[in-house]
Structure 1
Amino acid sequence: MTIGVGACLAAGYGMALLLAGYGIDLLARRATAALEGRGRGGFVYHADHDAWLCPEDQWLWPKSYDPENRVMRYRGTPAVCNSCPVKDACTASDDGREMVRAVDAWPATETARFYRGIACAIATMGVIWPAATTFAAESAAEVLVLLGVAAAIGLGSLPLWSHLRRSPALFPEHVPQRSLDESLADRQLVITAVNSRRPKYGSDTRRGPDGN
């Protein structure tokens, strides 16, 4: 059974797109990890206590709120941190280790959903490419191989769709959500209203000798 170069390239390209989708999904996982407090040197945020737990089983409690950056600041007990055996690798401050947490969680969740949406779109292209190449296949064997690869990529993309479906949507309800068309329509209405209120001067309507 001989498979042409075009079919091999289409199959390989489809698999590469699937791998690219998983790479982008990894970015979404990192955004989710930042939201949940993972990946910060072993410090884990516990929402039920509103505090961070360090790798040495010590708590960092809320100390202040930064309204400009909308973050809560947490700090460990100085006496505990200064006597910690891993202090030198943790913080140079003698006032205790500080951690921050963004009050608004929706930017991280929306970023994760954005990445996962792109990952699913790329994986879909990975399915379409070899499937569409079957129309230019030179033999039945190539058709079977291309369809098999497309099916394998489709199955391989199912976890990506599952991740997207399970990604939380925490966009605040009080913030208006409008489509691009709605925003453009509103902008056009504003432009029309401004033009209608613009004062008219004689020079605006004066015509030259040629009538222009």
Structure 2
Amino acid sequence: MSAATSSVELPTWLASGYALVLLLVAYGIDLLARRAHTANDQHQTRGFVYHEDHDAWLCPEDQWLWPQSFDPENRLMRYRGSPSVCNSCPVKDSCTSTDDGRELGRPVDAWPSSESARFHRGIACAVHVLAVVFPVVTTFTVEHWASQVILLSTALLVTIGGLPLWSHLRNSPVAPEGVLFRSLDENLQEREQVVQTLRRRRTTYASDRRSDADAPGAPVDLVLGQTRYASQRREAQENA
């Protein structure tokens, strides 16, 4: 046994160690990419709480964002608040710059679900392939059978160790039922139509253009069914 061990060439240990390092690098790439995507999703939905029982998001102002459509290309469910509610929200300027309501997205598949996530997973899988190929190729450069056994065993070990990186090939994508399928371009076009519709509904009256607000027949503010926002309730409680 000692004779077989002593006859193992140096390239065998170098190739085996390099393969194991590449396997760790592949997992490191996937882990860092997952953390980056998770941090980005948390930043996009900061202050919003997803309620699975309603399949809707609740914003910091206690208003709901309901599902609008499903993007089959990006595997993303899109949620949007009511334009009339969002446009009159006291914190709209710090929430969204659009007039068609705040929109959020939620991946429906497990990681990696988005196109960018699959790109980073692909890089990790490519590194894993190199980790397997490197010791296999090295077997053709060594002469002793012990070296070849070690290299092939390392290749087998690295292959098994990297199988979880290929799990996305086995996962069946989720197909939501009862929702409208709409691509990103179609979603942007629909949002633009919503904005145009809201602008056409804004009617201007002669009394609104009068400089003298106390003129006879001047409009009187009448609020019916006003939406209550969380920030307004907190302000009322502080002033009480």
Give the structure-2-normalised TM-score: 0.46
Question: Partner of 2:224 in structure 1?
Answer: none
Please tell me whether the aligned partners of residues 121 and 165 of structure 2 are also in contact (alpha carbons under 8 angstroms). yes
- 1:19 maps to 24
Task: Tell me by how many angstroms 1:5 deviates.
Answer: 1.9
Aligned equivalent of 2:144: 139
Output the aligned Cα RMSD: 4.5
Describe the superposition over 1:79-133 as per-residue Cα deviations: whole angstroms up to 9, x where unpaired. Answer: xxxxxxxxxxxxxxx9599697544869x70011111111111101100100110
Question: Residue 166 of structure 1 aligns to a residue in which SS?
Answer: coil
Structure-2 separation of matches of 1:27 and 1:60: 34
Residue equivalent to 1:50: 56
Partner of 1:149: 154
Structure 2 CA distance for aligned equivalents of residues 147 and 155 of structure 1: 12
Distance 2:151 2:114 in 1: 36
Deviation at 1:146, TM superposition (A): 0.6
- For structure 1, the residue ranges without an aligned partner over 5 or more in a row are 64-69, 75-93, 177-212
User: Cα 1:4–1:115, aligned 2, differ >3 Å: closer, same or farther?
Assistant: same
> What percent identity do the matched residue pairs reach?
38
Q: Answer yes or no: is the 8 Å Cα contact 2:50–2:58 preserved in 1.
A: yes
Aligned to 2:167: 162
Matches within 5 A, 1:91-110: 102-103=104-105, 109-110=114-115
Structure 1 distance, partners of 2:12, 2:40, is: 43
8 A contact 1:31–1:111 mirrored in 2: no
Contact residue 60 and residue 98 of structure 1 kept, 8 A:
no
Deviation at 1:36, TM superposition (A): 6.6
AA in 1 matched with 2:38 = A
Work out whether residues 53 and 59 of structure 1, in 8 Å CA contact, stay in contact via their aligned partners in 2: yes
Q: Which runs of no fewer than 5 residues in structure 2 stay unpaired?
A: 67-77, 83-89, 97-101, 176-180, 186-240
Contact 2:26-2:125 within 8 A present in 1 as well: yes
Shift of 1:27: 3.5
Choose which of 9, 31, 48 in structure 2 pairs with 1:4: 9
Match of 1:200 in 2: none
The alignment of Structure 1 onto Structure 2 pairs a total of residues equal to 148
Q: Cα offset for 1:145?
A: 0.7
Q: Does 1:123 align with 2:107?
A: no
Q: 1:169-208 alignment to 2 at 5 Å?
A: 174=183
Distance 2:42 2:169 in 1: 20
2:30 and 2:120 in contact (8 A); partners too: yes
| TM-score using structure 1 length | 0.51
